[in-house]
Amino acid sequence: MEKLLQVNQLETQFTKDKEKLKILRGVSFHINKGEVLGLVGESGCGKSLTSLSIMKLFKGTSGEIAGGRIVFKGEDLTHRSEREMRKIRGKQMAMIFQEPMTSLNPVMKIGEQLLEPIRLHLDLNEKQAKEHVIYILKKVGIPRAEEIIYEFPHQLSGGMRQRIMIAMAMSCNPQLLIADEPTTALDVTIQAQILELMKQLQKEEGMSVLLITHDLGVVAEMCDRVAVMYAGRVVEEANVFDLFESPKHPYTKGLIGSVPKIGQRKDKLTSIKGNVPDPSNMPKGCKFAPRCNDAKAICFEEEPNATDLGNGRMCSCWMFEEGRENVYA
């Protein structure tokens, strides 16, 4: 399949007290045209920062890309200027943020906010732009769209605000949609509606989606392939069926094993011991070794490479490294 996005050995760092603190430490994955890739892992693994790095949304922070490549439609975005990125954001790639109330401007009417990317990227007059806004709102299931364009975000429910965010992201028909925890803080019924809407729009438009989540149920429902992140690096990659049927990395096994099952007793629930390491105090060797029940001596000394397991699978673990080739060398 043709690759729309390739992220190779991406490193992102922030300056803290005049010292460079590397958060993403060689993130590598790709997204094919028309597919949904799930990016999963615990909070603090670097999932959201990966999406912000792809979009190069560092304004107002000390964040910067320190290494690696972000190749979109065959072009390297790594060294693109802010002015060049503005032409790409919204039109060719767009993002749905996890908190619509903080992402929408509280003092701007819904219609005005939706008009911004349309005016920037589409050659439409005022009347056509307004008609396009109403069309997009109706497409994402917003009732009385003609009235809602004159309302403010606080007048809408959480589910409606998230639909507005989806409409904003879809307004210029992007080829890549990045959805960062799109159902956070929504109740279960609304979550299901939002996911069904995203699935429908993805199929209709044929766009690629990077779905960032910690909910493995959402991954099973939505994704074609999955990349598992831990401590600023992708540690396993596989198609969704293989990942759930036969997880390889101990961290992936821990994530899947910690999902509650119907009828399971509370005292039988499992969890991964410990916490994600602090980026300013990373352990030596494999970053998961201090939490891993299968860790060997070498795991505490050297970090394993990303190795090819065949059939499109990748795993970064010493259990599979011997005699295999580094995928991203």
Distance CA 219, CA 36 (A): 9
As beta bridge partners, residue 236 has: 228, 315
Q: For 43, left (φ over 0), alpha (ψ -120 to 50), or beta?
A: beta
Q: Which of 184, 147, 188 has the alpha carbon at shortest distance from 165?
A: 184
Q: For 109, left (φ over 0), alpha (ψ -120 to 50), or beta?
A: beta
As beta bridge partners, residue 29 has: 7
Q: Which of 177, 161, 165, 168 has the alpha carbon at shortest distance from 132?
A: 168
Tokens of 107: 């003092």
Distance CA 232, CA 26 (A): 7
Distance CA 297, CA 36 (A): 37
Q: If DSSP codes are grouped into helix, strand and coil, which group holds residue 279?
A: helix
- With 90 as the cut, is the pLDDT of residue 84 above it? yes
CA torsion 286-289-294-298 (nearest 10°) is: 50
Tokens 């994955």 belong to residue: 29
Q: What is the mean pLDDT of the chain?
A: 90
Min mean pLDDT across 95-99, 161-165, 175-179, 273-277 is at 95-99
Please report the pLDDT score of residue 227 as a whole number: 97
Please report the pLDDT score of residue 266 as a whole number: 66
- With 90 as the cut, is the pLDDT of residue 35 above it? yes
Task: Determine the topology of domain 3-92+174-321 in CATH.
Answer: Rossmann fold (3.40.50)
CA–CA distance from 311 to each of 215, 243, 308, 314 (Å)?
25, 12, 9, 9
Taking the alpha carbons of 110, 115, 118, 120 in that order, is the dihedral positive or negative? negative
Tokens of 167: 């409409």
Please report the pLDDT score of residue 182 as a whole number: 86
Q: Which of 155, 145, 167 has the alpha carbon at shortest distance from 108?
A: 155
pTM of the complete model: 0.91
